[in-house]
Structure 1
Amino acid sequence: GPDPYVKGCPTSGQLESPSRRVTESVAAVSPGPLALPDVRLSVTPPAADVTGMADVRLPISEDEERQAESPAHLHGLGPRGRARCFMQDKCLGGSDNDGFYYAPPCSHGRSPLVKLELPVHSRQEGPLPPERAKTLLSFLFMCLASTLNMVSLAVVHDRVPDRSLYGPLPDVVLDSVSTVDWALDVSEYLILVLVYSCLAVVALHRHRWILLRRLLFLLGLLYLMRTVTMFVTVLPVASLTYYCEPRANVTTLAVVAHRVMNLISGLGLSINGRHVYCGDYIFSGHTMVLTLACLMIQEYSPRRFFLLHWSAWAVGVLGVFMLLLARAHYTVDVVIAYYVTTRVFWIYHTLANNKVDDHGHLSRVWWFLLFTYLEGNVKKVVPRQYQCPLPEL
């Protein structure tokens, strides 16, 4: 039936006599997970306070009130007791805007009102320091990771299965389209468009040093992961027309160093004519950069720039399609690259935007210590604020 104790809803038969004792079970007041059928609530409202059931307060002594307000008393009630107190107070309509009033059951049959402050987590406010030294450290970390990635490719090149003996692996997408060699150049030009757009968003942001530090650190993490996956499993060349430099008889340190310098001079792109090594498949570096650029643009550009966001993702999808059309990667390389990049990006920003202690599951990522050092002084979510970089430069 209707709850006779809801604020503002007393029934006609309940306010007839101030001395009337009203006995209701908590289960009848609020059926559900917190219902306690074995608990009885007995209330005797004084005559002076009968202006509505929501205004009823029982007189108690100061000693009883201090005892009821003590943390030890509330802790001793246990979770069921505290829930019972909450349900009893909701029955009497006692609540404020800044917290909850609990009415713990007492041996004398009366229910003192106890105010508990509920802790509300909020990020600390204050200025965000640029910390350029940490940004420089992130840049060095990214350079080290990308160099290791190139070293891995230089070694893997001599382990690629002979193309004359082993053909491309079966692939649902690649087997359904014809090879277009110039599509790889289109894909890399689209990569440059997204990278420059991402850098423009970072440069125009008010907290550009924080954004640049995050971008470089994420790139470093992804390059390190790609170094491992590319080295442990070597797939046959996916294209029958892509030029691969002849393999060396012996992979010496000098050969590896020469290949790494050749890759660095061409920024790892094929349009420069310097990327002539094969075997860098799992996972796709092109897809990784395209996805990361799109995520950065969407995360830190103004929300109302939805056309920019959609355009960035459209360019990214087109770049991936051109990559597959040129048979520069297998489809599984693209899928893994998208999955890894988005998860690393989202985990990083979840850690950055929320207070996380050492006992949370996300704190078990292997790069958590580096993260805490880089983000230690970023005490709040980076706002979407923008500023011309020219005065600072």
Structure 2
Amino acid sequence: MTNVRDWNCEDVKQWLISNSFEGYADLFCDQHKIDGKALLALEESDLREPPMQIRVLGDVKHLSLAIQILKLENQDKFNVSDPTNGGLKISHRYSKRVHSRPLKHSAYRQDSTSTFSDDDDVIDEEIEKIISRKGCYSRNLDSELFKTALSFVYVFFVFLLTSFVMVVVHDRVPDMHRYPPLPDLFLDNMPVIPWAFEVCELVGSVLFTVWTIILFFHKHRFILMRRMFSLLGTVFLLRCVTMLITSLSVPGVHLHCQGQKYPDMWAKFQRTYEIWSGFGMSLQGVRSCGDYMFSGHTVCITMLNFFITEYTPRRIYMLHTFTWVANIFGIFFILAAHEHYSIDVFIAFYITSRLFLYYHTLANNRSLMLRDMNRRRVWFPLFSYFESKCDGIVPNEFEWPLLWPKSFCSYFERKRKKHLN
């Protein structure tokens, strides 16, 4: 197969005909003089808009998909990696697999019953297999139980510190009569819903249950746990700082908060234990004031959402849709209960999502890990230690973790071998 960049118009026409796009051969080659370089430069918008203006949506999608495959092939030929795929290089075997299945187009095959979404699912599976073959998955997937245990100790003490800081800021909460609630665009236009905060915590409990089930079946559960502990610990450590340096007034008059004085340090430690043992949840009888910037409930819900969507297959889109809807509604219920200012929730979501993406971008991309090694050791020392051996994407492989019953073990082993093949 010659280099696509060297194709002339006749080569493009032959490619269209061989892939059942013969209905557009004249449009591409005779009218618009599309050669190889022009073909690789085409985007989906070029197909839909004038002067090409292909009016059949299915044909636009299929053509765009075929052109994207050619782009990936051409990158592989020149050893150019696609940064959006974490340095992935696609081989010509991908093209043979995809092109061996004839595409169906409504413009000249009226009996077609397949949908583009079906092809899209197949492409996702093909990409997963190619990522595995091309070495984008981590070559070292050791559980490293000591590091996981150390990350648990880290988040354990950070949660204790957070609970103590919550006691301190409760003691410093501004007087409601002198410092009324601050103006807030959302809270000023939303009536208080008394039961909303409990619903938010129920949403978080459901997401935590889903994540626990995923961890139970995921083959690399200890790597996932280590990453979650380190990220949660880092975000809540930052939250300790933001809560402590500035005390915001109570966001709603219905909260009836006032500074609480403790007779001695032992009383503070007892209150710290009450908050820590109850996970800071009102469902566990924990009520606190002053811990507003930023929202810990939003952090937990958002972190669970991102971990569930990251470490489950993309084809389980119903689960991903559910977790995102739960994330959005959980944030809404926090605001509806007037337990936090809008800025508390926004900052919590932004910091959590950006830190998650930054962590995983570095962990999944070897070239970035090497380039930013010295800077990362200074600004993100936990990452450098916890991810020192993991040098690529952690595959979403699942197994039955127990030795019994054997039927479950054999089922997951067959699924794993089928995925690798």
Shorter-chain TM-score bucket reads: 0.5 to 0.7
Query: Is the 2:365–2:391 contact (alpha carbons within 8 Å) kept by the matching residues of 1?
Result: no
Q: Give the direction of change, closer, same or farther, for the CA distance of 1:161–1:379 in structure 2 (3 Å limit).
A: same
Partner Cα distance (1:364, 1:325) in 2: 39
- Where does residue 270 of structure 1 map in the other structure? 282
Q: Does 1:129 align with 2:142?
A: yes
Residues in 2 aligned to 1:189 and 1:336: alpha-carbon distance in whole angstroms: 22
CA displacement 1:80-125 (0-9 Å, x = unmatched): xxxxxxxxxxxxxxxx95779xxxxxxxxxxxxxxxxxxxx96576
1:345–1:366 CA distance, 2 compared to 1 (3 A)? farther
1:386 maps to 2:395? no
Give the CA deviation at 1:258: 1.7
Contiguous gaps of at least 5 residues in structure 1: 1-5, 10-95, 101-120
**Which residue does the alignment assign to 2:192?**
179
Deviation, 1:360, is 2.5
157-166 or 304-313, which deviates more: 157-166
Q: Does 1:156 align with 2:169?
A: yes
Q: Does 1:296 align with 2:296?
A: no
Q: Which residue of 2 aligns with 1:224?
A: 237
Distance 2:195 2:306 in 1: 27
Q: Aligned in 2, Cα 1:192/1:365: closer, same or farther, shift over 3 Å?
A: farther
CA RMSD of aligned residues (A): 2.7
**Deviation at residue 369 of structure 1 after TM alignment:** 2.3
Amino acid at match of 1:223: F
In the TM superposition, residue 163 of structure 1 has moved relative to its aligned partner by: 1.4
- State the match for 1:58 in structure 2: none
- After TM superposition, the score normalised by the length of structure 2 is 0.62
With over 3 angstroms needed to count, the CA separation of the structure-2 counterparts of 1:263 and 1:181, relative to structure 1, is same
Instruction: State the one-letter code of the partner of 1:287.
Output: T
- Give me the whole-angstrom Cα distance separating, in 1, the residues matched to 2:277 and 2:255: 20
Report if the CA contact (8 A) 1:245-1:277 is conserved. Answer: no
- Kept in 1: contact 2:137–2:395 (CA 8 A): no
State the 1:375 CA deviation. Answer: 1.1
In the alignment, what sits opposite 2:357? 346
Q: 1:375 aligns with which of 357, 379, 387?
A: 387
- Alignment partner, residue 238 of structure 1: 251
Which residue pairs with 1:144 in the alignment?
Answer: 157
Greater Cα shift, 290-299 or 374-383: 374-383
Alpha-carbon distance in structure 1 between the residues aligned to 2:262 and 2:157:
28
Indicate if the aligned counterparts of 2:159 and 2:276 stay in contact, CA closer than 8 A: no
Aligned residues: 280
Decide whether aligned partners of structure 1 residues 7 and 300 sit closer, same or farther in structure 2, where only a CA change above 3 A counts: closer
Query: What amino acid does structure 1 have at the position aligned with 2:395?
Result: P
Structure 2 counterpart of 1:107: none
Match of 2:372 among 343, 360, 366: 360
Judging changes above 3 Å, is the alpha-carbon distance between structure 1 residues 331 and 365 closer, same or farther for their aligned structure 2 residues? Answer: farther
Q: Pick from 337, 349, 353 the counterpart of residue 348 of structure 2.
A: 337
Pair 1:216–1:392, CA change in 2 (3 A): farther
The secondary structure found in structure 2 opposite 1:286 is helix
Q: Deviations over 1:34-88 (max 9, x none)?
A: xxxxxxxxxxxxxxxxxxxxxxxxxxxxxxxxxxxxxxxxxxxxxxxxxxxxxxx
- Report how far residue 323 of structure 1 moved: 0.7
Amino acid at match of 2:380: F
Which entry has the higher C-alpha Rg, 1 or 2? Answer: 1
Runs of 4+ in structure 1 over 6 Å off: 6-9
Identity %: 38
Equivalent in the alignment of 2:116 = none
More helix by percentage: 2
Whether the aligned pair in 2 keeps the contact of 1:243 and 1:276 (CA below 8 Å) is no
Q: Is the 8 A contact 1:245 1:276 kept in 2?
A: no
Compute the TM-score of the two structures, normalised by the length of structure 1: 0.66
Question: How far apart are the structure 1 equivalents of 2:283 and 2:244?
Answer: 24
Q: Against the structure 1 CA distance between its residues 384 and 159, is the aligned structure 2 distance closer, same or farther, given a 3 Å change threshold?
A: same
Relative to structure 1, is the Cα distance of residues 140 and 318 closer, same or farther in structure 2, using a 3 angstrom cutoff?
same
CA distance in 2, matches of 1:207, 1:339: 27
Tell me the equivalent position of 1:328: 339
Query: 8 Å contact 2:171–2:260 — kept in the other structure?
Result: yes
**Equivalent residues of 2:195, 2:337 under 8 A apart:** yes
